[in-house]
Amino acid sequence: MKNVLVIGSTGQIGSELTMKLRGIYGNANVVAGYIKGAEPKGELLESGPAEEVDITNAQQIADAVRKHKVDTIYNLAALLSAVAEAKPLLAWKIGIGGLMNTLEVARELKCAVFTPSSIGSFGPNAPKDGTPQDTIQQPRTMYGVTKVSGELLSNYYALKFGVDTRSVRFPGLISYVTPPGGGTTDYAVDIYYSAVKGEKFICPIKQGTFMDMMYMPDALRAAIEIMEANPERLIHRNSFNIASMSFDPEIIYNKIKEYVPGFEMVYDVDPLRQGIADSWPNRLDDTCARMEWDWKPEYDLDAMTRDMLDKLRIKFGKS
Ligand code: SER
């Protein structure tokens, strides 16, 4: 990787990944791609190049790749699961139409491509605990349908055209920087905000609903390490299970209470998000990622909770 384009650089993952990539490959070598209405600001804007790159516009992708001699594209444009259920056509247009544009540009201009998949690529027919790397993927959400189709399309471009496509199946991502929007796992971010602001947390997901989660620093490292991995060791490409922690709302609530003793939580279950969560795995088996490219998470629930609370207290002037 020398010259990188991040499509979706101002989103939940992009805003942090772009800065981390700039730290590794040099500010001038990482282009922040954005869409109108979500322009980069502050450090993201000032530290390196930025281009308008709407993933539904293949020409804009190709222009940015040519102009900046890009060799690696991080394709982070997507609608999260609950939003995709409300806007399925747009989710397909961005998730699959956009991916097809990206893969075609990558084929022509010889770029490697990273496109995140998700725990949402599995459905109710997959084993729930220790969900294997290779198993039934029959998601019942539009988000999942785009993710599993994206995995297949990316593998097709690797096999048929030799495009270096790689990817990981992200769990719910937790960060204090850019809040997610419209995901099923978002409650595990929102709960920290409530704890630090001194508010009661209203949990939209039922007690006993387990999902994989990951602290953002581990997720960013995974996205970079998979693209740097020795291709000769890779048996899989799109997409690797990765995991670091799995919990239900009670477990994260009780963990936060260890550090914020008066913290209160009540349930008001959102049927849409609950239905999505019920169809997803409880805990993925990430053995293949560990064996093929030495994946290893650094944060567990306790380490993440201490860091989230510290950073959010600083953010909200509560330290
Ligand atoms: N965080 C995503 C969502 O909840 C899952 O990949 O939609």
pLDDT tens-place string over residues 108-132: 999 999 999 999 999 999 999 999 9
Euclidean distance between CA atoms 117 and 77, whole angstroms: 11
| pLDDT of amino acid 93 | 98
Tell me which H or E stretch contains 266: strand 265-267
Report whether 284 contacts 241 (CB < 8 A). Answer: yes
Bridge partners (DSSP) of residue 72 are 4, 112
Q: What global pTM score does this model have?
A: 0.96
Intervals of the chain under pLDDT 70: 1
Ligand 1 atom, smallest distance to 172 CA: 1
Ligand 1 atom, smallest distance to 84 CA: 7
Euclidean distance between CA atoms 143 and 210, whole angstroms: 19
Query: CATH fold of 172-213+244-315, please?
Result: UDP-galactose 4-epimerase; domain 1 (3.90.25)
Euclidean distance between CA atoms 147 and 123, whole angstroms: 11
CATH 3.90.25.10 residue window(s) in the chain: 172-213+244-315
| pLDDT of amino acid 297 | 98
26 Cα to the center of ligand 1, angstroms: 30
Catalytic residue from among 25, 34, 74, 143: 143
| pLDDT of amino acid 210 | 98
Report whether 240 contacts 286 (CB < 8 A). Answer: yes
| pLDDT of amino acid 180 | 77
How many helices (H) and strands (E) are present in the chain, helices listed first?
A: 13, 16
Q: Does domain 4-170+216-241 sit in CATH 3.40.50.300?
A: no
CB atoms < 10 A from the CB of 60, how many?
19
- What does the pLDDT look like over 57-77, one tens digit per residue? 999 999 999 999 999 999 999
| pLDDT of amino acid 95 | 97
CB atoms < 10 A from the CB of 117, how many?
23
Residue type, 319: S
List all residues whose CB is within 6 A of at least one atom of ligand 1. 80-81, 118-120, 143, 170, 172, 183-185
143 is catalytic: yes
Longest dimension (CA), the chain: 58
69 Cα to the center of ligand 1, angstroms: 32
| pLDDT of amino acid 1 | 67
Ligand 1 atom, smallest distance to 280 CA: 5
CATH 3.40.50.720 residue window(s) in the chain: 4-170+216-241
10 Cα to the center of ligand 1, angstroms: 17
211 Cα to the center of ligand 1, angstroms: 10
Q: Whose CA is nearest to atom 6 of ligand 1?
A: 118
Per the listing, tokens 């097709």 go with: 156
| pLDDT of amino acid 193 | 96
Residues with Cβ within 8 Å of 261's Cβ and at least 6 positions away in sequence, in order, are none
- Concatenating the DSSP letter of every residue in 71-102 gives -EEEE-----HHHHHH-HHHHHIIIIIHHHHH
| pLDDT of amino acid 17 | 98
